[in-house]
Structure 1
Amino acid sequence: MRGYMDPETTTAKPVPQNDKSSLLSSLLHEFRRNKLILYYVAFIAPLTLIINMFVPENMKYDIYSYIDVLITICYVTFIIWATYYYCYLLFKREKSPTIRLIKKVKSLLFPISKPIYFVLLMLVLNISFSSYTFIKSLIPHFNPYNLDLTFYHLDKWLHFGISPWEITHFFLPNAASTLVINFLYNLWFFLMWGMLLFFIVYRKNDQLRNQFILTFLVSWFLLGNIMATLLSSAGPAFFHHFHHQDLYLELMQRLDLQNNEITQLSVFSLWTLSAQDMLWDSYVTGIRGRGTGISAMPSLHVTIAVLMAMTVFRLNKNWGYIAWVYAFFVQIGSVHLAWHYAIDGYFGAILVVALWHLIGYLLQKNAPSITRQ
């Protein structure tokens, strides 16, 4: 019988020629969609390895830093999405919700080129974030923190002689408001990952997809590594460790008092303070890991929040307005919680807006060559 594989033979059924060509065609299609992203990591990976050749042994690059994190995030995100989608089908009174869910999952897995490139893009993210963390931890090694005092004075000059944190704590004076700000600030991590995964599988507008992902990746390297090294600063929370003046002592004492009040009255705490302690311990001990490294200028929190706001606005204006309000609160939180000088956020926002429009212009101008094989 044609196509039957005898148990005693080791020759597998050959793949039909049209299936081979279909697979090749879908792989080429996915390559065209993702080639600029792949080109980016092809640039950043060897550059990171070159830098790695000139650093001390205890500061070496770990290319696998975020693999387990990404696997966990993908798993949790899939479970949340599947649960939401199934409940949505039940709410809509779908006749066969389970079958509909299975079909939806199959649409994500076939053609096989989709999961292949999804895994490939996860590796791209791992390399990008591993490179970012590695280079960020080297900032004081290449250029010791020396601009904190300058940014302190610039902040006061821009805000009419008042430190920005004094303004935020005037309008948000109690522990409860600080806890809300801390929650919104930390929510950034989940929103960032969620939006990134959304655009990795997004297929309705490749121009917007590439514009977001490329701006996202380039921001971490150009702003979070290059600009951060040139404008080396530690931030208000670490100011007293590098300067004799305790210009932010009152802010840190206020946050400590509010944290004590919160922990006494609830099960919550200001996670920001423990995160700052973790970063300082990592700096002192020289132990490197995920999320380590101290750097203030520019604020990547504000940078990515503004990027998300611009992108969401393109998808849906109503949600876009909410995203812009959220970006505003991230800027407030960066100052209120002693992570950044206000100028860190302003500078990051201006740069990412410029980068977003530049990448969008280049993508549109070179669209024909980008879509070619």
Structure 2
Amino acid sequence: MQNFLRFALIYFVSAIAIVMVFRDDGVSIMGHLMSSSQVFFIVMGQFALGLALLAGLTTLVVGPKVMLGRARVVATAMIASMFIQAAFTLIKTSLPYIVPFYADPYFAQIDQALHFGQDPWVLTHALAESFAANQLVWVYVSVWGLPAMALPVIIAAIDGNTARVNRFLVLYVVGWVVLGNIIALAGMSAGPVYYDRLIGGDRFADLAPALVDSGLKATWIGNLQESLWNVYVERGQAIGSGISAFPSVHVAMAFVTALYMGERSRLLIPVGAVFVAAILFMSIYSGYHYAIDGYASIIVIGAAWAYMRRRATQAHGFQPAMA
């Protein structure tokens, strides 16, 4: 876990350097980040309080010595996670200043080619007519947000298998940093919901009224989409800001979470699969992402997980523990 913290600190310092080099007013940008970080720290503080209460109960079972050692690891994981989230949003908001948006037309074409000439968002809205799709908003936002932000903290608190913990810390970094920053920079795209505003024309003209008719525009997701656009136009900075569609960090972190659940118990595999499917569906339905954004994230995370599992098997001569 100490190496994870070291990486987080280096990542954060690198993010500050990127802001200073590529943004017009780096000092002001950092000020905006600090002023908007209060909500994030409140959420993480509430999560920490919940963990502390759980730790108190667990101490009665495993004893204070074991829990004291675990508490240090959990605290380290929480600090590292905070630095990673702060660094990620600094870099993500800065990406268009390094490489301007250029890839949206290509991803839109790929989506149509993969879905028999139809835009995937149209297919999701047609499917949504058969169930209350907007009820998935809380899954896309709140349920997803807990493991997405705090998976290192969770596994540090509940998992004594060091090899598995380290493997999923790497996957966590792959999801946020490799996919969310590095690969995102290589394929800079804004997503269908911003396509016409950035490029012009009416390629996705039907999407905006569809979001209104579905009721999604009036939800937290619709409000956030407008907020992200305003921060982009104003060249500002806030916690969670930044527009970048390819690849989908939402789907990536959902898949990392599902893989962890599957390694802990085969009984959790169906739950994890439903979770990933719900996040993939909502990422397309909301207009945030092209379908290829989610597919690419699943391929990269799946390949990284399979590679590390195979390395663990070759090194130890057995399959990594499932519990």
**TM-score, structure 2 normalization:** 0.85
In 1, Cα distance between equivalents of 2:311 and 2:8: 18
| Offset, 1:240 | 1.2
Q: Deviations over 1:192-229 (max 9, x none)?
A: 34644320213431111111122102321111001101
Alignment partner of 2:50 out of 55, 79, 83? 79
- 1:129 and 2:78 correspond: no
Alignment partner of 1:182 out of 137, 143, 168? 137
- Contact conserved, 1:146 with 1:233, CA < 8 A, in 2? yes
In 2, Cα distance between equivalents of 1:286 and 1:234: 15
Cα distance, 1:276–1:353 mapped onto 2, change above 3 Å: same
- Contact conserved, 1:215 with 1:359, CA < 8 A, in 2? no
In 2, Cα distance between equivalents of 1:45 and 1:171: 41
| Offset, 1:307 | 1.1
1:47 corresponds to which residue? 14
5+ residue gaps, structure 1, are 1-33, 87-98, 264-268, 368-373
User: 1:319-330 maps to which residues of 2 (within 5 A)?
Assistant: 319-330=268-279
Q: Deviations over 1:284-338 (max 9, x none)?
A: 1122010000000000011111111111011111112111111011111111110
1:332 corresponds to which residue? 281
In 2, Cα distance between equivalents of 1:155 and 1:289: 31
2:319 corresponds to which residue? none
Secondary structure class of the residue paired with 1:287? coil
- Contact conserved, 1:313 with 1:319, CA < 8 A, in 2? yes
| Offset, 1:115 | 3.4
Cα distance, 1:213–1:77 mapped onto 2, change above 3 Å: same
1:139 corresponds to which residue? 95
| Offset, 1:55 | 2.8
Secondary structure class of the residue paired with 2:203? coil
| Offset, 1:69 | 2.3
1:266 corresponds to which residue? none
- 1:226 and 2:197 correspond: no
- 1:162 and 2:129 correspond: no
In 2, Cα distance between equivalents of 1:116 and 1:191: 20
Partner amino acid for 1:75?
A: Q
Cα distance, 1:289–1:229 mapped onto 2, change above 3 Å: same
Alignment partner of 1:58 out of 18, 22, 25? 25
Q: Per residue, is there more helix in 1 or in 2?
A: 2
- 1:204 and 2:153 correspond: no
In 2, Cα distance between equivalents of 1:110 and 1:204: 11
1:257 corresponds to which residue? 213
Give me the identity figure in percent: 23
Q: Deviations over 1:43-99 (max 9, x none)?
A: 4244334324413353456486757624533434643884xx69xxxxxxxxxxxx9
Count of residue correspondences: 311
| Offset, 1:40 | 2.5
5+ residue gaps, structure 2, are 317-323
In 2, Cα distance between equivalents of 1:76 and 1:306: 22
User: 1:271-350 maps to which residues of 2 (within 5 A)?
Assistant: 271-350=220-299
- Contact conserved, 1:44 with 1:128, CA < 8 A, in 2? yes
- Contact conserved, 1:144 with 1:232, CA < 8 A, in 2? yes
- Contact conserved, 1:302 with 1:348, CA < 8 A, in 2? yes
In 2, Cα distance between equivalents of 1:343 and 1:164: 10
Largest Rg, 1 or 2? 1
Secondary structure class of the residue paired with 1:286? coil
- Contact conserved, 1:240 with 1:247, CA < 8 A, in 2? yes
Partner amino acid for 1:237?
A: V
- Contact conserved, 1:282 with 1:288, CA < 8 A, in 2? yes
Cα distance, 1:192–1:123 mapped onto 2, change above 3 Å: same
Partner amino acid for 1:218?
A: V
- Contact conserved, 1:211 with 1:363, CA < 8 A, in 2? no
Cα distance, 1:319–1:70 mapped onto 2, change above 3 Å: farther
- Contact conserved, 1:59 with 1:288, CA < 8 A, in 2? no
CA RMSD of aligned residues (A): 3.0
Q: Deviations over 1:254-312 (max 9, x none)?
A: 111232xx89xxxxx42111010000111111220100000000000111111111110
In 2, Cα distance between equivalents of 1:218 and 1:232: 18
Q: Deviations over 1:112-135 (max 9, x none)?
A: x54344333222112211111111
1:150 corresponds to which residue? 106
Cα distance, 1:223–1:286 mapped onto 2, change above 3 Å: same
Cα distance, 1:360–1:36 mapped onto 2, change above 3 Å: farther
Cα distance, 1:109–1:283 mapped onto 2, change above 3 Å: farther
- Contact conserved, 2:167 with 2:308, CA < 8 A, in 1? yes
